[in-house]
Structure 1
Amino acid sequence: MSKGATEKITISLDAMGGDNAPVNEVAGAIETVRSNDGINITLVGKAGIINEELKKFSYDSSRIKLHNAEDVITMDESPTEAIRKKPGSSLVSGLKLCKTGEADAFISAGNTGAVMAASLFTLGRIANVNRPTIGSRFPTERGITMVFDVGANVDCKPLNLLQFAVMGSVFANHIYGINNPKIGLLSVGEEKTKGDTVTVETYELLEKSGLNFIGNVEGRDIMKGTTDVIVCDGFTGNIVLKFAESVLSLLKTKFKDYADRGLVNKLKVGMAYGTLKDILKDFDYQEYGGVPLLGINGISIIGHGRSSPRAIMNMAVKAEQMARAGINDIIAEKIKDIKDYTAQSE
């Protein structure tokens, strides 16, 4: 259910999740409440360590609360085993606050697999959603595009991809304000007969779905901006995501190498620094914070393990947007609209 503009949104933050936890998480929480009047934060984790970090800041203690959780799920642990063995971990405890209504959303820069598994186990799925999906935004020549799925589902059926398209369309519309989002299906060619069996069958479902489906798109089209949402299986999507993440590092290295070749080159790069910084910002994960897990009966956003305080803040802002938009209610309605159609396609 959506919340009014004047109501505070409480976000449960896994303070022990990231590579630099809880330092970046605490700093991110402070930055969030200072910059956003509508957000309160509950820091979930080891109270002693978190309190020591909080002492470094002056802040409104009525807007940042602490929920003690002594166990921590590390990055190298098996998700399902860790959840079973550590029900009192910061990750699971943070999600339980959403389950009980003490928080409106959950964010974590911790173990991605554990966040996905615990979110599904604790919060459950939206009615009629077969599989939740995670999506990531990519900069394009015309703005942004969202790709679903980028790692939650390695093997997919046509029905799964159709539902990803529905959820992605809702997200693009209500979070990014894109009216009637254009949907593309990632394939090896534009023709409807190109691709494996799953892709060809998905094309047929999307064509009849009532979504603004424009057909197949290829890898070279992702950053052209011809579509607003692109759907693919999580195996392919994760490769695309990791490749895109490497672009920023490559460009920075190239600019540094060019500047190191001499004083004139260094001056050229220096003069263009402001412009280059603005351009490269579109590739920086810190600017959008994390990826939403859509299809669960709650709000859960997963951040990069190296999330900076700024990235943590942007995750919180995105969670607030989702809560205020009532994104899950809209997804439930749209999925229900195609229930009869999808049932015939299973």
Structure 2
Amino acid sequence: FAIMGLAYWERVFGVPNPRVGLVSNGEEEGKGSMLARDAYQLLKQTRLNFVGNVEGKDVPLGLADVAVTDGFTGNVMIKLSEGVAEMLVGFLKEEIKKRPLAVAGAVLARPAFEALRKRLDYSEYGGGPLLGVDGVVIVAHGRSNAYAIKNAVRVAKEAVDRKLVEAIREGVR
């Protein structure tokens, strides 16, 4: 899966030699479940740009371009990130409403807030590729609206145009 994620990152985002990190509960080599420790040993023997373990807090900070984990943990991380983003936006709105001067400042900062909202909105991204199948499959959020589905189709088209499946086949040979 690290090889498939690497192919995706190179082809779709145009990043040569992306950094691959293994999601674990600590940065040290011996940390994590048995699966994570075994995966670490396999990854460090490859020619990938393996940066070692990355903690959950490191993933959104971009310490690795490709974060390798099992599907369950990855799904929990995504949903936790969504919840934290929604919570922080809610807190910010509450605090702004408490202060008249902050309301005026928020009006002036509206373009920045709108840009931030777009960066945090899952529907802007559409979905992500289901790696490991022989074809292009995009997994969209369960609550996707028409805009999100349109963007999921865009993501699928980009994967086809950039020959993602071929790159993955080549990488896993």
TM-score (norm 2): 0.93
Residue of structure 2 aligned with 1:230, choices 63, 67, 73:
67
> Are 2:28 and 1:196 aligned?
no
> Are 2:56 and 1:219 aligned?
yes
C-alpha displacement at 1:265, in angstroms?
Answer: 2.4
Distance 2:2 2:48 in 1: 8
Residue of structure 1 aligned with 2:46, choices 202, 209, 213:
209
| 2:120 alignment partner, SS class | coil
Q: Verify the 8 A CA contact 1:172 1:181 in the aligned structure 2.
A: yes
Distance 2:38 2:144 in 1: 38
Amino acid at match of 1:249: E
- Number of aligned residues: 173
Distance 1:277 1:178 in 2: 27
Distance 1:206 1:219 in 2: 18
Amino acid at match of 2:98: R
Residue of structure 2 aligned with 1:312, choices 136, 149, 171:
149
Distance 1:258 1:227 in 2: 33
Deviations 1:48-98 (A, max 9, x none): xxxxxxxxxxxxxxxxxxxxxxxxxxxxxxxxxxxxxxxxxxxxxxxxxxx
Q: Verify the 8 A CA contact 1:258 1:266 in the aligned structure 2.
A: no
Amino acid at match of 1:234: G
| 2:67 alignment partner, SS class | strand
Distance 1:186 1:253 in 2: 28
Deviations 1:226-259 (A, max 9, x none): 2100111122111111111112321221222123
C-alpha displacement at 1:263, in angstroms?
Answer: 2.7
C-alpha displacement at 1:169, in angstroms?
Answer: 0.3
Deviations 1:101-142 (A, max 9, x none): xxxxxxxxxxxxxxxxxxxxxxxxxxxxxxxxxxxxxxxxxx
Amino acid at match of 2:54: V
> Are 2:121 and 1:280 aligned?
no
> Are 2:18 and 1:186 aligned?
no
TM-score (norm 1): 0.48
Q: Verify the 8 A CA contact 2:11 2:163 in the aligned structure 1.
A: no
Task: Flag structure 2 segments of 5+ consecutive residues without an equivalent.
Answer: none
Q: Which moved more, 1:263-272 or 1:168-177?
A: 263-272
Deviations 1:254-309 (A, max 9, x none): 22212321432221222112112212322110111012111111111121232222
Amino acid at match of 1:212: N
**What is the root-mean-square deviation in Å for CA atoms of aligned residues?**
1.4
Partner of 1:321: 158
Q: Verify the 8 A CA contact 1:248 1:280 in the aligned structure 2.
A: no
Residue of structure 2 aligned with 1:258, choices 85, 90, 95:
95
| 2:64 alignment partner, SS class | coil
C-alpha displacement at 1:192, in angstroms?
Answer: 1.1
Amino acid at match of 1:241: I
Larger Rg belongs to: 1
Distance 2:168 2:134 in 1: 10
| 1:192 alignment partner, SS class | coil
Distance 1:259 1:217 in 2: 34
> Are 2:81 and 1:244 aligned?
yes
Task: Flag structure 1 segments of 5+ consecutive residues without an equivalent.
Answer: 1-163, 337-346
Amino acid at match of 1:237: G
Q: Verify the 8 A CA contact 2:19 2:64 in the aligned structure 1.
A: yes
| 1:216 alignment partner, SS class | strand
Runs (4+) off by over 3 Å: none
